Amino acid sequence: MLAALIPVLGPILEKVLGAVLPDPEAKTKAINAILSQLQAADLAQIDVNKAEAQNSNLFVAGWRPMIGWSCAAALAFQYVVTPVVMWLAGIFGWNIPMPPALDAILWELMFGMLGMGALRTFEKIKNVAR
């Protein structure tokens, strides 16, 4: 994910380091060192993700699915179960209180899990999206 920020960070780093390092060669070396560290961090995270996914322990490999199912259950409760129950209550004359509403943070979690955050927009801007 950090490597996706390279096109954005490159010009910023060039301006900042250009003010600090007048030598163009030193500036280029510094920028390349920073960008290679970002790429190394991404590769390290990919290795961690692979190790987690291969683990047979549910508490190691299962946290992402658990969050996904929790998000799906919360969305189903908010947008399917609650309206149907409230509709049935109205039909049968039951006086039940409206359950508490789930807030917008649930949508942020879902969009993040589905990859619909800024990186997808970034891909579209750079014309690398399918």
Which amino acid makes up residue 16? V
Position 10 scores a pLDDT of 72
Q: Is the pLDDT of residue 99 over 80?
A: yes
CA atoms within 13 Å, Cβ hemisphere of 1: 8
The verdict on pTM exceeding 0.95 is: no
Write out pLDDT tens, residues 37-83. 878 887 887 787 777 777 776 655 666 677 778 888 888 998 899 99
Amino acid code (one letter) for 6:
I
